[in-house]
Chains A and B, each alone.
Chain A
């Protein structure tokens, strides 16, 4: 499946990243992590047949099957490569078998016993077939935590294009743009997010950071004040706000730059 999405990897390398000798197998979450280590968005499908069918029509899907009994499970990963509606059967790539055909009934039983778990590897910029903005944005954020913001700009951009009102997707895009040095675009997005929800401390902090990068020291100070008021409780966010404030205060005042708030979105 990784190879299908354009990754070059040897089975031995992959084994090092997912195999647990003491359990003679691999854990689901480690499959996700390994997918991310190769720069792909590891998206877990909603546990429903509809989502699986929609996704299989576009790309191979890794599924967890229980080929044994509920009480005596035999866990197995396979790749679903197709659904043959005429014969009501599922085409799998399984172990060393390139093409295994299971009746839909048989497959669905094994899949249900495995908790209807399924995942796909998406190249940043590709979207899942299902309309699952929350799941997708979380999957992108997990990849971002590993590979950095600039690796996922296109993924957030695709998400914002499809779900224009999704705040986390918009925040992710703005962060990625900022990390890429496209600060003017990032600040415009932060401004618009802040206008929609004036008490969002994370957005305000990052807006202040962007404004500072643009040389708008006064406006950055004003925004970081608002961020402090929005997040009075101590913690990670509060500490980040204080760090931003120190950075602003330490920077020399610069003239120029258009520092007025830009209202792009209604």
Chain B
């Protein structure tokens, strides 16, 4: 997928600005962590959103509005990687939210029981 020169330089600017914005975390430590090196390699994610901190705040608020306890929401967002936050951001209403199928399993279990009772294979005694 060839990028046109404009798009390429645009991406470069985005990458540089994102790297800048992440600065707060590395204030004192001299060593650069592995996650930062990973982020440098995964440039594709960068074009999605310029400010990852804004995205985190968005996701936290969206979670809260979906009924997650505020303290839990803060902890849960902090536990996500940048790439994961970008996956969620703005999409909490559409992304698959899966359960362990509570009502459906219950439905099946009930259906099987009803069938067994009805067919006389099980009875109350």
Interface residues of A (CB under 8 A from B): 16-30, 32-34, 36-37, 64-67, 73-78, 94-97, 114, 137-138, 140-142, 144-146, 149, 168, 171-172, 175, 178-179, 202, 205-206, 209, 212, 233-237, 239-240, 243-244, 247
In the complex, besides A206-B31, A235-B20, 7 extra interface pairs with C-beta distance below 8 angstroms are A19-B68, A20-B66, A20-B97, A25-B99, A27-B95, A76-B98, A202-B37
Residues of the A chain whose Cβ atoms lie less than 8 Å from the Cβ of B36: 202, 236-237
Does B6 belong to the interface (CB within 8 Å)?
Answer: no
Residues of the B chain whose Cβ atoms lie less than 8 Å from the Cβ of A25: 96-99
Which 4 residue pairs of A and B lie closest in terms of their CB atoms, listed nearest first?
A22-B66, A21-B67, A25-B97, A23-B97
Q: Are B33 and A77 in contact (CB under 8 A)?
A: no
- Counting chain B CB atoms within 10 Å of each CB, the highest count among A19, A26, A142, A168 belongs to A142
Residues of the A chain whose Cβ atoms lie less than 8 Å from the Cβ of B99: 24-26, 75-77
Residues of the B chain whose Cβ atoms lie less than 8 Å from the Cβ of A137: 38
- Shortest distance from the beta carbon of B98 to any chain A beta carbon, whole Å: 4
Contact partner of A17 (CB less than 8 A), chosen from B35, B40, B72, is B72
Does B92 belong to the interface (CB within 8 Å)?
Answer: yes
Contact partner of B34 (CB less than 8 A), chosen from A27, A33, A175, is A175
- Shortest distance from the beta carbon of A169 to any chain B beta carbon, whole Å: 9
- Shortest distance from the beta carbon of A145 to any chain B beta carbon, whole Å: 4
16 A-B pairs within 8 Å (CB atoms) are namely A20-B68, A22-B65, A23-B93, A27-B92, A29-B87, A76-B98, A76-B100, A137-B38, A138-B42, A205-B30, A236-B19, A236-B23, A239-B23, A240-B29, A240-B31, A247-B30
Residues of the B chain whose Cβ atoms lie less than 8 Å from the Cβ of A20: 63, 66-68, 92, 97
Once the chains are docked, how many angstroms separate the CA of A209 from the CA of B30?
Answer: 7
- Counting chain A CB atoms within 10 Å of each CB, the highest count among B20, B31, B95, B101 belongs to B31
Once the chains are docked, how many angstroms separate the CA of A76 from the CA of B42?
Answer: 30
Interface residues of B (CB under 8 A from A): 16, 19-20, 22-23, 26-38, 40-42, 63, 65-69, 72, 75-76, 79-81, 84, 87-88, 92-93, 95-102, 104-105, 109
Given A142-B81, A235-B20, CB of A95 within 8 Å of CB of B28: no
- Shortest distance from the beta carbon of B92 to any chain A beta carbon, whole Å: 7
Residues of the A chain whose Cβ atoms lie less than 8 Å from the Cβ of B92: 20, 23, 27
Q: Are B101 and A240 in contact (CB under 8 A)?
A: no
Once the chains are docked, how many angstroms separate the CA of A137 from the CA of B87?
Answer: 19
Once the chains are docked, how many angstroms separate the CA of A17 from the CA of B69?
Answer: 10
- Shortest distance from the beta carbon of A93 to any chain B beta carbon, whole Å: 9
Once the chains are docked, how many angstroms separate the CA of A76 from the CA of B104?
Answer: 10
Given A22-B66, A32-B84, A33-B79, CB of A64 within 8 Å of CB of B96: yes
Contact partner of B100 (CB less than 8 A), chosen from A28, A94, A146, is A94
Given A23-B92, A76-B99, A233-B16, CB of A30 within 8 Å of CB of B76: yes
Once the chains are docked, how many angstroms separate the CA of A146 from the CA of B78?
Answer: 9
Once the chains are docked, how many angstroms separate the CA of A96 from the CA of B79?
Answer: 27
Contact partner of A141 (CB less than 8 A), chosen from B22, B35, B63, B87, is B35
Q: Are A171 and B34 in contact (CB under 8 A)?
A: yes
Q: Are A175 and B20 in contact (CB under 8 A)?
A: no
Q: Are A144 and B16 in contact (CB under 8 A)?
A: no
Residues of the A chain whose Cβ atoms lie less than 8 Å from the Cβ of B98: 25-26, 28, 64-65, 75-77, 114
Residues of the B chain whose Cβ atoms lie less than 8 Å from the Cβ of A76: 98-101, 104
